[in-house]
Amino acid sequence: MSGPTPFRRIILVLFAAFFLLMSGRPVQAELTFTLLGETLTIDFQDYTGAGLASGGGGGALDSNDWELVIGDDNGSLQTSFGDTVGVGVFGRGMSSGGVSDSGYYSFETGGGNRALGIQLGDAGFSFGIPSLRIRNQTGQVVDALTVRYDVWVYNDSNNSNYFDLEFSNGSAFIDPVFLDTPSAADGTPEWVQTTLQYDLLLPENGLFGGVLQPLADGDSMLVEWSGGGRFDALNGFDEMAIDNIQITAFSTAIPEPGTPLALCVVSGVMALRRRSRKP
């Protein structure tokens, strides 16, 4: 599928990264891993597009977990972790698609399913970034993450958009997974689901400097979805949404002998050996 030029995409990513880095992030609770191999899942079934609130509830996103950005080449609007933000560009309510007002929605994609979505174009907005903050509290170093998620696209514009997966930590970020929407609208638009997965191994060099380091116990990082495209007042933007996010944290380090984790590994190996000896 055709999409924005690589140069244009890089420029939008740089603008978005700049605004995120300049925001200043207060310390709050966030989505937390307490066990290696644990999978955290977010399905947005309780989200109704009611904005953000600390702790969530009432159809809002939990602002301790989520930060939202929307903007263009000249600037952006954004929430901060822990904010309470009601109806408006960060709380457009529920829709089944075909909207024109820019902002964040709870999109109903069919069969009672809801997803966290964004519509761009109105008021010149050309990119949006929902950011999910995750924290390692496993007591171990996390140097591998598996992120699996669904992207829903309602292709009702003659304009190719993108919705990319990004990881950031401090000044370093990468965008390893790309999804582009078609440049021509569907004759009868309907929600189309694409499932994507990425396995992140740390450390990894950032695109424009810095290094994404392994997460020591207590460290956090951002998992982000960057949506945008070429601003086109005539042809507009597609509706795009994320859903069914599953994130699993791992450690590839060899545990110290005598630790509970090492004993579990040894027990597992011995069990496999005993099983393999059975006729």
- Express each pLDDT in 17-54 by its tens digit: 443 443 333 333 479 999 999 999 999 999 999 999 99
Per-residue pLDDT, 279: 42
Per-residue pLDDT, 122: 81
Radius of gyration of the chain (CA): 20
Per-residue pLDDT, 130: 98
- CB-based contacts of 163: which residues, under 8 Å, 6+ apart? 151, 153, 179, 181, 225, 226, 227, 240, 242
In terms of pLDDT, which residue wins out, 78 or 2? 78
- CB-based contacts of 267: which residues, under 8 Å, 6+ apart? none
Q: What sign for the dihedral angle of Cα 157, 159, 165, 167?
A: negative
pTM for this structure? 0.81
